[in-house]
Amino acid sequence: MNPQTLRGWQAMKRIRCWTVIALVFAAGGCNGNAAVTTAVSPARLVVGDNVACDDATCKQDWERAQLWLAKHSSWKLQTSTDVLLQTYNGTQYSPTYAFSVTREPLGSGQYRIAMELGCGNPLGCNPNALDVRTAFLYYVKTGQDVLVGVRGMSAIR
Domain coordinates in residue numbering, the chain: 1-30, 32-142
pLDDT of residue 13: 58
φ/ψ (deg, to 5) at 143: 80, 5
Per-residue pLDDT of the chain (157 residues; tens, 9 = 90+): 565 655 655 555 555 544 444 443 433 333 343 334 444 444 444 456 788 899 999 999 999 999 999 999 989 999 999 999 999 988 788 888 999 999 999 999 999 999 999 988 888 887 888 888 989 999 999 999 987 766 544 445 4
Please give the model's pTM, rounded to 2 decimal places.
0.66
- 89 vs 31, 41, 92, 97, CA distance in Å? 25, 27, 9, 8
The helices-and-strands tally (H runs, E runs) of the chain is: 4, 5
Distance CA 85, CA 55 (A): 19
pLDDT of residue 150: 63
On whether the CB atoms of residues 107 and 123 are closer than 8 A, the answer is no
Give yes or no for a contact between 39 and 121, defined as CB atoms under 8 angstroms apart: no
CA angle 111, 39, 91 (to 5 degrees): 70
The values of phi and psi at residue 88, to 5°, are -65, 155
Class of domain 32-142: alpha beta
